[in-house]
Structure 1
Amino acid sequence: MKRNFDLVIFDCDGVLMDSEKVSARVVAADMTEHGVPITPEAAMARFVGMSLKHMKPLIEAERGAPLPADWNARMIQKIALAMSHEVTEIPGARAVLESLDREGIPWRIASNSADAEMDAKFTRTGFLAITEGRTHSAPRLFAQGGQPKPAPDVFLDAARAQGVPPHRCVVIEDSAPGVAGAVAAGMTCYGFAPHGEGSTLLAAGATGIIRTLDAVPALLDARVAA
């Protein structure tokens, strides 16, 4: 069957896992502890889709002093612990992944989260068996010179692993940095905005907006304009 795309690449946080509020609360608590008081709501609005690597210099600038040298590693541990107790799946996440598997449509996950964080999320929600071997973590690429979203590196890593050229990939993203990274990779990106208009995602380069994950399979239909 002819399709618009040969690979679906999902973001993790806010697309498959309802994890962004959990992360925001951990980040807000840590910032407050380090002398930069902020609410979880404000932390989420400010840092959604951003990697710890990019967050650190912003927090240090506001704090007027460096954070501890092991801040990134400690934050990964804190976030992973919180995820292991609290994270839930986005409605329809398991169903869409299983639907793609039944149709023989390849999919992968490309995230700014560290592997330890994704493992905690997928273990908690029971996704580990189906996601194992299909995840791509931006921090995993740092040793090779890779950068987190909005750089395209983690998306290109996913495409290479599947052997699919970027222009045949479609990405599902819920943040502006993620959309920008997908577009920079030469991929088509749809913004996932279940609770808003998605204007920031469109401004970042999203081709369109979907409200529910069950809309994903239709994006691959060759009869539907990409």
Structure 2
Amino acid sequence: MSEHVNFPIPADAPLAVQPKGELRMVLFDCDGVLVGGEHFSTALMSEDARSHGWDISDEEGNKLFGGGELAKIGEMIAEKTGDKLPADWDMIMQKRIVDMMRAKAPAIDGAERMVRAVKEELKLPVRVGSNSSMAEMEAKFSCTGLDKLLPVERIHSGRDLSMPKPRPDIYLYGAKQEGIPPENCIVIEDSDAGVEAARRAGMACVLLRDLDKPAPSWPGLFRIQHLDELVPLLKKIIAAQQTAH
């Protein structure tokens, strides 16, 4: 287990991870947590930016566009190049991304067995909250086979609901749909914006990121670098709570 997983839990951490609390629900981000290939999407955006005169590499585009809202990315390209993009540029790009992901979206290593273990071993309800559109997530989950574990009614889009991270709304919405208080939820994220959304929602958070990379610091945040670490971590939290009760 990651050396960044420390017990006992700080007293000011969310109740979901404290011995006196109760962990009752897990919410997942999509891109970078369950499904990879975001660099495919940002490469499409970079290609489009170059067609408008912006000399940007795919690598630079991945850093700049990754995790962003399409409408804001379109505005960025227009401002940088001075070109007038189509009013529906974000919808055009969205369709290109969906078509691509339906054919080549890769699952993050360990995603399927991790989701299955959370549902079947830990008996915890799961939901997805992402800035991606529903159409994009349906394409990604269909391509990877994760749709068998994550039915559409448990997937929520910050884009479609106008609740983009780092706003907490998409995670609060998922908890409300399940009927579980935010303080009993934990979020699995890979981005700083997602971590901030979880923090604002009053939820605990597990950050999936290599340990040599920087990360936010607050009492409710745990770090892992592979999805295989998640279920053992949650089991340890739950065991501490069962002992305390």
TM-score scaled to structure 2, two decimals? 0.82
Mark the CA change 1:100 to 1:139 in structure 2 (over 3 Å): closer, same or farther: same
How do residues 161-180 of structure 1 correspond to structure 2 at under 5 angstroms? Answer: 161-180=177-196
Deviates more, 1:203-212 or 1:54-63: 203-212
User: Quick one: distance in 2 between partners of 1:205 and 1:57?
Assistant: 36
Mark the CA change 1:78 to 1:116 in structure 2 (over 3 Å): closer, same or farther: same
Mark the CA change 1:196 to 1:52 in structure 2 (over 3 Å): closer, same or farther: farther
Unpaired segments of 5 or more residues in structure 2?
Answer: 1-19
How big is the shift at 1:110?
Answer: 0.7
Instruction: Tell me which of 217, 221, 225 is aligned to 1:211.
Output: 225
User: Quick one: distance in 1 between partners of 2:174 and 2:137?
Assistant: 15
Greater relative contact order (CA < 8 Å, ≥ 6 in sequence) = 2
Mark the CA change 1:203 to 1:61 in structure 2 (over 3 Å): closer, same or farther: farther
User: Quick one: distance in 2 between partners of 1:205 and 1:42?
Assistant: 32
User: Quick one: distance in 2 between partners of 1:3 and 1:167?
Assistant: 9
Q: Tell me what 2:82 maps to.
A: 64
- Residue 29 of structure 2 corresponds to residue 11 of structure 1: yes
Q: Deviations over 1:160-203 (max 9, x none)?
A: 1111111111111111111111111111112111x45241x325
Give the total of aligned pairs: 218
Mark the CA change 1:38 to 1:204 in structure 2 (over 3 Å): closer, same or farther: farther
- Residue 111 of structure 2 corresponds to residue 97 of structure 1: no
How big is the shift at 1:56?
Answer: 2.8
Computing the radius of gyration from Cα coordinates, the structure with the larger value is: 2
How do residues 158-197 of structure 1 correspond to structure 2 at under 5 angstroms? Answer: 158-193=174-209, 195-197=210-212
- Residue 104 of structure 2 corresponds to residue 86 of structure 1: yes
**Identity of counterpart residues, as a percentage?**
36
Q: Deviations over 1:73-123 (max 9, x none)?
A: 111101111111221100100001111121311111111001111111111
Mark the CA change 1:18 to 1:63 in structure 2 (over 3 Å): closer, same or farther: same
Q: Tell me what 2:133 maps to.
A: 114
- Kindly report the root-mean-square deviation, in angstroms, between the aligned alpha carbons of the 2 structures: 2.1
